[in-house]
């Protein structure tokens, strides 16, 4: 055993060597309280993961805010005149229901059971996510770009708290980079036409999915964002953005290009 053991722990591992006395504590009450606590946990528990906790917290928040977000987006579409990041425009914005649910998150389900639909099986390494008990995308969609010379330009889109937009080429594929190859993303938050936006911009995370494995690169409140990703090794790369603010964010002028 590599890990140090406490002697108390080692002694506890002995078979019951003597009578124990609960000393006034009520075993029935303990069991009842424990089961009550577990019942409360059932609705909120998520498995351990490697990615930053904020992914999951915001994901959970997003799940609760879905109804509100749908309403907000519906209104936003008319007010802002932008494409919606929701289920209605499936040509542009596919909306898979993706989750990795293990026994840890869903005690009533079979271990390893997962829900997977749409493109995400191709973009995300589901086995890796599952092996690592990562519940990555609670609310996720893709935004397809339109080629313009060397760049891929993206239509304006709105997404809400916790939601993640994966930026893809027109055919839904990513960018294949060689080792040390570079991919640059630029975008702008439209804060003028978004009544819920902070004047300087809202918190937005940017990450990459490299051969199916997501990794956050940066997170900040800058209204304008430009990031150049350098590949450590050859692979297929997608940029994604995740809304870490309390309200919707309108993304405009997003473009991805190789350097």
Partner 1 sequence: MEQEQLVRQLRQGDSKALQKLMALYTPYLCTVAANLAVPPLTPQDVEEIVSDAFVRLWRHRQDLDPDRSLKGYLVRITRNLVVDALRSRKAECLPLLEEILEQETPLETRLEQKEAVRRLNKHLAALSPADRELLLRFYYDNQRIAAIAGALGISPGALRVRLFRLRAQLKKNLEGEEQQ
Contact positions toward partner 1, by CB under 8 A?
Answer: 1-2, 4-14, 16-18, 20-27, 29-31, 33-35, 37-38, 41, 45, 47-48, 102-104, 106-109, 111, 133
Closer to partner 1 by Cβ: residue 68 or 104: 104
Q: Beta-carbon neighbour count of residue 247 at 10 Å? A: 17
Q: Which residues contact 137 (CB under 8 A, 6 or more apart)?
A: 59, 98, 99, 120, 124, 164
Closer to partner 1 by Cβ: residue 31 or 218: 31
Closer to partner 1 by Cβ: residue 29 or 91: 29
* Whole-angstrom distance, CA of residue 192 vs CA of residue 209: 30
Instruction: Work out whether the CA dihedral 81, 228, 60, 144 comes out positive or negative.
Output: positive
Closer to partner 1 by Cβ: residue 14 or 67: 14
CB of 62 to partner 1, least distance (A): 22
- Write out 69-138 in H/E/C secondary structure: HHHHHHHHHHHHCCEECCCCCCCCCCCCCCEECCCCCCCCCCCCCEECCCCHHHHCCHHHHHHCCCCCCC
* Whole-angstrom distance, CA of residue 197 vs CA of residue 257: 27
CB of 123 to partner 1, least distance (A): 26
CB of 209 to partner 1, least distance (A): 24
Closer to partner 1 by Cβ: residue 20 or 91: 20
CB of 102 to partner 1, least distance (A): 8
Q: Which residues contact 79 (CB under 8 A, 6 or more apart)?
A: 193, 195
């Amino acid at each position: 055993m590599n890990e140090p053991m406490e002697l108390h722990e080692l002694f506890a591992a002995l078979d019951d060597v003597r009578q124990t006395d609960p000393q006034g504590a009520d075993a029935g009450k303990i069991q009842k309280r424990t089961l009550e606590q577990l019942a409360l946990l059932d609705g909120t528990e998520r498995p351990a993961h490697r990615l930053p906790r904020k992914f999951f917290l915001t994901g959970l928040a997003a799940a609760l805010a879905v109804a509100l977000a749908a309403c907000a987006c519906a209104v936003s579409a008319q007010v802002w005149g932008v494409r919606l990041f929701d289920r209605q425009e499936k040509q542009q914005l596919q909306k898979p229901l993706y989750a990795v649910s293990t026994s840890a998150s869903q005690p009533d389900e079979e271990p390893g059971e997962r829900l997977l639909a749409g493109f995400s099986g191709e973009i995300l390494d589901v086995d890796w996510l599952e092996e690592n008990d990562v519940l990555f995308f609670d609310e996720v969609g893709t935004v397809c770009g339109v080629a313009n010379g060397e760049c891929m330009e993206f239509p304006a889109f709105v997404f809400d708290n916790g939601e993640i937009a994966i930026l893809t080429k027109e055919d839904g594929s990513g960018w294949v980079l060689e080792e040390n190859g570079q991919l640059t993303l630029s975008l702008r938050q439209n804060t003028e036409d978004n009544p819920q936006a902070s004047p300087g911009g809202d918190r937005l995370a940017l990450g990459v999915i490299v051969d199916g494995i997501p990794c956050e690169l940066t997170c900040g409140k800058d209204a304008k964002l430009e990031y150049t990703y350098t590949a450590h090794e050859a692979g297929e790369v997608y940029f994604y953005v995740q809304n870490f603010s309390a309200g919707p964010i309108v993304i405009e002028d997003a473009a991805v290009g190789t350097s």
